[in-house]
A and B are shown apart, each in its own frame.
Chain A
Amino acid sequence: MEAREQNLLRSVLENTWRFYVWVGFLIAVLLWGLYAYIQQLRDGLIVTGMRDQISWGLYITNFVFFIGISHAGTLISAILRVTDTAWRTPITRMAEAITVFALCIGGPMVMIDMGRPDRMLNLFRYGRIQSPIIWDVLGVSTYLTGCILYFYIPMIPDLAFLAEQPRLASWRRRLYSTLAIGWTGTPQQKALLEKAISFMAIFIIPLAVSVHTVVSWIFAMTLRPGWNSSIFGPYFVIGAIYSGTAGVIFSMYVLRRVFHLQDYVEELHFRKLGLLLLAFSLMYLYFNINEYLTAGYKLEGSERMLMQRLFVGDYAVLFWVAQSVCVFIPAVLMIAVLGLKRYHRYTIPGVVLSSALVIVGAWAKRYIIVVPTLRSPYLPSGQRLPWEWTHYHPTWVEWSITAAAVAGFCLIYTLMVKLFPIVSIWETREQPQEVAVSELPDESVPSRWWKPGDVFPILAVAALLLCGRSANAAGPAKPKTPKPTAITVEWKTVPAPQPSRESAADESTPLLPRARVFMYTGRLFTVETSPDDPAEGSLKPSSPVAVTATLRDSTGAPISFKPVEFSAKTPLGTLVFGSRPTLADGKAQLVIKDHRYGTYPVQAVFRGDDEYAPATFNVPVDFGVRPAPSLPRAGVLITPYATPYIAAPFLLFYGAMWVAFIYAFGYLILWKMRKLSPEASVAHVKTAPAVSGA
């Protein structure tokens, strides 16, 4: 037992020259990436290969990739904990560590992609809950907090153990004892810790699923061909868990090699996780077929170009290589080493090779999801633009920052492995030496991984354009020579009121009980605010206006059967209505039934003819009250304020997560467990003096 623990502690206690070389190399790459980023900050994103048409590239690919890698860690460890799988103990910490560090790298990738990182705080000052970006901010930050807690809480006993190691530097021991928050290992403390861990494990599963779903929604909430897909949530979640599992296996292998953890990480673990990876690969294959066959079979208008690009066009090589490397080859390889007895002895290399392929392939797959879609917009937006503006080729800056991201991930991982034991000491101590390999259904993919079905109805209320009709007449006969007869034109406006609408009748009749219910519940689930809300959707047709022109000569006698032209002056132009002949009484009437609101000068013109001189008359005509300023009803989510049915589910879900964190960590660990600690009073004087007295 003791020898085993000493071996585990070696990773924390000893540094070889290789460690320094490795860290030095990583820091060099990181500094190079930093140099590239400074270039980008100085010159703007012009130093990247991204342009207006393909406006997201490697950075977003990296973001999705790292968030994906982060998934399995926690998810695997949480599921294995919840199902209380015995063999999990040596690998859970590794898995959780991957999650935390991948998130630490993935999150900033979006900031690097931003054009104005200096305005980052705007996300908090002006954040709109309707935006998928804000969902991501909410989701990823919650998830990161949860994962840090979930990484930290099970480590507390080990930290207490490390704090007592005399071989460590004093600052490290102080750090460990601070972080151990008074852990002494009493049964009550242990019970509390177990409770907190299992509580966190249960909550972290839906959280992990939600986070990658939300990441996929950045794409799925657009109208782009290839992204506009309802399968994207589960597709991304499975892809994330798949790549994450591969990440766990690969890191397991590396750590096993470097720190000689053969006692802990056995072939059994590779076998079990390999089966899990195989199951995920088949699921991912299924999702891929589902995604691409449905689009590729129909070749629907906007998606045709994209599908042709992917299957046979300029992205075909990348597409098929990525699919092979990501899904086909690993699946075949794993079926061989895990399924065929003859190849059993190659289990570890086979599974590790598969997972390495999966990691690389998953990255390429993210690229395939992000870039070709942007390359295939609805309109040929690349017309008359230079080649570089329509094709995406990542520049050295992007590659450097990508390399720095990978190096950063490795560096954090390396340093954390040095700082904290990567295999749980206290959990493996409890475990019997011979691992019971009894439970077989390890690869059973829990059926509870369902997509959070928060499907929000987007109500598109079409603005009604009611048909208007304006009376028309044949063109006027033009006069030849004017005669010196004086003529005046008179005007009368006769607004004919519309027959009262049903809504008016509705208001007078008492509301039915059912209508009453809708009056209150409907407020939450629809955009309707009140029945007489002057939004555009409820625009009342303006009342028709009858304009009568009276044409008389100088004696006052009506002039009959002459054309009078009518026109209205609008702020930008003059709308000609055509002409009407005067009748026997000298009156020409025009009924205007246009959808017009406000007051306009209407002009009646008599052009004059052989007998009579021309005449003009202007009169302001009131066409009805303009509707009050409002935003269009059709845009449900464009309101400047939070929209209830978008805000509520997100805030409730992530709020519940925060409550769970506060309960598990704040209450159970920080408050209750500390109170139990007899040393608390000694180590931390400021906590609860009452307890120290007792």
Chain B
Amino acid sequence: MAAGVAWKASVSKVFREVLPSRSLAPGNQKWVMVIDLAKCDGCRDCTKACTAMHFVPPMQEWIKVFEITDNEAAGPYFLPRPCMQCDNPPCVRGCPVGATYKRTDGVVIQDDDRCIGCRNCIAQCPYSARSFNWGEPPHTHEELARPYNVEYNYPHRKGTVEKCIFCPEHLRMGKLPACAATCKMGAIYFGDKFDDAVTNGKGETIQFTKIAKRGASFRLMEELGTEPSVYYLPPASRKYPSPDEKAQTETAQAAMPGMEH
């Protein structure tokens, strides 16, 4: 018994349980995102807002909108992919220096003060959610005006990895992340799992646990065991014109002025 206690004490001394301050979040939250694929019409406003807010360097998209065609019969749909902020994040597992780490509010933070640029996290991430500053990124004055902080992750630096971080700076202020706030279709819901409520940019709030029951939500590549914090509602009965229809109307519109001339 005593040996057991001593053993337990010595083990816990080596393998500590107390979380270091850098992994502690400012509040006691657990952020989740719900993306309604039935509503996403692929306008990429989220990407633009994110890029503008974080001064994301060119060729990087922290939230990227894919056009997915799983099979011909199902038809294409749009899939916005932010960082999944996995609960079992492969990138954090693989990082040799702890430059990317899980915060207690569920956000996977990227610390570019520490990143050595080995790109193991890029290899690890099945969602291709990470990008690398291959060269010196172009800078703006607003970007350089503030000192580097992991909560907004700029000024960007050459040779380091970056990714979506759920806008912790906005969350501190009680605002939605840039992508959710911008989405005109209200496809991106965001909220605290402990609040059990997620809100979109249009101010609509739904109960988080209810979507599991009603909306048959899924997470991307659930079979990989990464436990993402981003949930998707299936792209069933779209609430926007299908890409084909959109292309047709666009070509029709493009053809119209041509006919006038």
Instruction: Point out residues on A near B: beta carbons under 8 Å.
Output: 43-48, 50-53, 55-56, 110, 113-117, 119-120, 122-123, 125-128, 130-134, 137, 218-219, 221-224, 227, 374, 377-381, 383, 385-386, 389, 458, 460, 462-463, 465-468, 470, 516, 519-520, 523-524, 529, 536, 568, 570-576, 594-598, 600, 626-632, 634-638, 640-644, 647
Contact with A along B130-143 (1 / 0, CB 8 A): 11111110000000
Would A629 and B119 be within 8 Å (CB), given that A134-B96, A571-B192, A573-B199 are in contact?
no
Contact indicator A44/B205 (Cβ below 8 Å): no
Complex CA distance for A675 and B178, rounded to whole angstroms: 73
Contact indicator A572/B174 (Cβ below 8 Å): yes
Contact indicator B227/A635 (Cβ below 8 Å): yes
Contact indicator B11/A379 (Cβ below 8 Å): no
Could you tell me the distance in whole angstroms from the C-beta of A283 to the nearest C-beta in chain B? 28
Contact indicator B128/A642 (Cβ below 8 Å): no
Contact indicator B97/A600 (Cβ below 8 Å): no
Of the residues A127, A221, A570, contact of B97 by C-beta under 8 Å:
A127
Residues of A within 8 A of B208 (CB): 595
Contact indicator B114/A119 (Cβ below 8 Å): yes
Contact indicator A115/B159 (Cβ below 8 Å): yes
A45-B132, A575-B207, A643-B15 known; 7 new pairs, CB 8 Å cut-off, are A224-B123, A383-B64, A570-B195, A570-B205, A631-B19, A635-B227, A644-B15
Could you tell me the distance in whole angstroms from the C-beta of A386 to the nearest C-beta in chain B? 8
Residues of A within 8 A of B67 (CB): 383
Complex CA distance for A627 and B124, rounded to whole angstroms: 30
Of the residues B16, B28, B88, B190, contact of A629 by C-beta under 8 Å:
B28
A sample of 29 cross-chain residue pairs with beta-carbon separation below 8 angstroms, ordered by A number, consists of A44-B134, A45-B132, A52-B59, A52-B132, A110-B118, A120-B116, A123-B116, A127-B97, A128-B95, A134-B96, A222-B94, A223-B224, A227-B123, A379-B127, A460-B227, A467-B213, A468-B207, A523-B8, A572-B199, A574-B203, A575-B206, A595-B193, A631-B23, A635-B88, A637-B92, A638-B89, A638-B102, A641-B15, A642-B15
Complex CA distance for A638 and B60, rounded to whole angstroms: 26
Of the residues A219, A595, A640, contact of B19 by C-beta under 8 Å:
A640
Residues of A within 8 A of B194 (CB): 596-598, 626-627
Residues of B within 8 A of A572 (CB): 174-176, 190-192, 195, 197-199, 205
Would A379 and B81 be within 8 Å (CB), given that A133-B118, A470-B207 are in contact?
yes
Residues of A within 8 A of B166 (CB): none
Instruction: Check: B204 CB closer than 8 A to any chain A CB.
Output: yes
Would A594 and B128 be within 8 Å (CB), given that A119-B114, A374-B123, A631-B19 are in contact?
no
Of the residues B15, B135, B191, B212, contact of A43 by C-beta under 8 Å:
B135
Contact indicator B14/A132 (Cβ below 8 Å): no
Residues of B within 8 A of A643 (CB): 15
Of the residues B23, B106, B199, B210, contact of A468 by C-beta under 8 Å:
B210
Complex CA distance for A573 and B200, rounded to whole angstroms: 8
Instruction: Check: B234 CB closer than 8 A to any chain A CB.
Output: no
Contact with A along B206-225 (1 / 0, CB 8 A): 11111011000000010011
Contact indicator A570/B192 (Cβ below 8 Å): yes
Instruction: Point out residues on B near A: beta carbons under 8 Å.
Output: 4, 7-8, 11-12, 14-17, 19-20, 22-25, 28, 30, 59-60, 64, 66-68, 79, 81, 86-90, 92-99, 101-102, 104-106, 114-120, 122-124, 126-128, 130-136, 158-161, 174-176, 190-199, 203-210, 212-213, 221, 224-227
Contact indicator A638/B92 (Cβ below 8 Å): yes
Could you tell me the distance in whole angstroms from the C-beta of A655 to the nearest C-beta in chain B? 14
Could you tell me the distance in whole angstroms from the C-beta of B72 to the nearest C-beta in chain A? 16
Complex CA distance for A412 and B124, rounded to whole angstroms: 35
Of the residues A56, A573, A635, contact of B203 by C-beta under 8 Å:
A573
Contact indicator B104/A600 (Cβ below 8 Å): no
Residues of B within 8 A of A640 (CB): 19-20, 22-23, 98, 101
Residue of A whose beta carbon sits closest to that of B113:
A119
Residues of A within 8 A of B11 (CB): 523-524, 644
The 10 A-B residue pairs with the shortest CB-CB distance in the complex, in nearest-first order? A115-B117, A115-B159, A573-B199, A46-B135, A381-B128, A573-B205, A133-B96, A629-B104, A632-B87, A46-B134
Contact indicator B196/A636 (Cβ below 8 Å): no
Q: Tell which of A119, A221, A626, A627 has the most Cβ of chain B within 10 Å.
A: A119
Contact indicator B133/A44 (Cβ below 8 Å): yes
Complex CA distance for A486 and B160, rounded to whole angstroms: 65
Contact indicator B90/A222 (Cβ below 8 Å): yes
Contact indicator B28/A638 (Cβ below 8 Å): no
Contact indicator A628/B28 (Cβ below 8 Å): yes
Contact indicator B97/A114 (Cβ below 8 Å): no
Of the residues A222, A468, A629, A644, contact of B123 by C-beta under 8 Å:
A222
The secondary structure that dominates the A interface is loop
Residues of A within 8 A of B14 (CB): 642, 644
Residues of A within 8 A of B127 (CB): 378-379
Residues of A within 8 A of B114 (CB): 119, 122, 126
Residues of A within 8 A of B212 (CB): 465, 467
Residues of B within 8 A of A460 (CB): 88, 225, 227
Residues of A within 8 A of B190 (CB): 572
Complex CA distance for A266 and B224, rounded to whole angstroms: 54
Contact indicator B94/A379 (Cβ below 8 Å): no
Contact indicator A462/B227 (Cβ below 8 Å): yes
Contact indicator A55/B119 (Cβ below 8 Å): yes
Complex CA distance for A399 and B16, rounded to whole angstroms: 46
Could you tell me the distance in whole angstroms from the C-beta of A204 to the nearest C-beta in chain B? 25
Contact indicator B159/A55 (Cβ below 8 Å): no
Residue of A whose beta carbon sits closest to that of B180:
A572
Could you tell me the distance in whole angstroms from the C-beta of B138 to the nearest C-beta in chain A? 12
Contact indicator B227/A44 (Cβ below 8 Å): no
Of the residues B95, B106, B124, contact of A223 by C-beta under 8 Å:
B124
Of the residues B12, B88, B95, contact of A634 by C-beta under 8 Å:
B88
Contact indicator A632/B106 (Cβ below 8 Å): yes
Of the residues A218, A378, A385, A467, contact of B59 by C-beta under 8 Å:
A385
Contact indicator A571/B174 (Cβ below 8 Å): yes
Q: Tell which of A465, A516, A629, A634 has the most Cβ of chain B within 10 Å.
A: A629
Complex CA distance for A383 and B158, rounded to whole angstroms: 24
Residues of A within 8 A of B79 (CB): 379
Residues of A within 8 A of B206 (CB): 575
Complex CA distance for A468 and B213, rounded to whole angstroms: 9
Would A218 and B134 be within 8 Å (CB), given that A573-B191, A595-B196 are in contact?
no
Residues of A within 8 A of B98 (CB): 126, 128, 640
Complex CA distance for A44 and B134, rounded to whole angstroms: 6
Would A575 and B205 be within 8 Å (CB), given that A43-B135, A52-B60, A598-B195 are in contact?
yes
Could you tell me the distance in whole angstroms from the C-beta of B207 to the nearest C-beta in chain A? 6
Would A573 and B207 be within 8 Å (CB), given that A632-B227, A638-B92 are in contact?
no
Of the residues A120, A379, A629, A641, contact of B25 by C-beta under 8 Å:
A629
Could you tell me the distance in whole angstroms from the C-beta of B64 to the nearest C-beta in chain A? 7
Complex CA distance for A374 and B79, rounded to whole angstroms: 21
Residue of A whose beta carbon sits closest to that of B226:
A223
Of the residues A467, A529, A598, contact of B17 by C-beta under 8 Å:
A529
Of the residues A46, A218, A636, contact of B88 by C-beta under 8 Å:
A636
Complex CA distance for A49 and B129, rounded to whole angstroms: 20
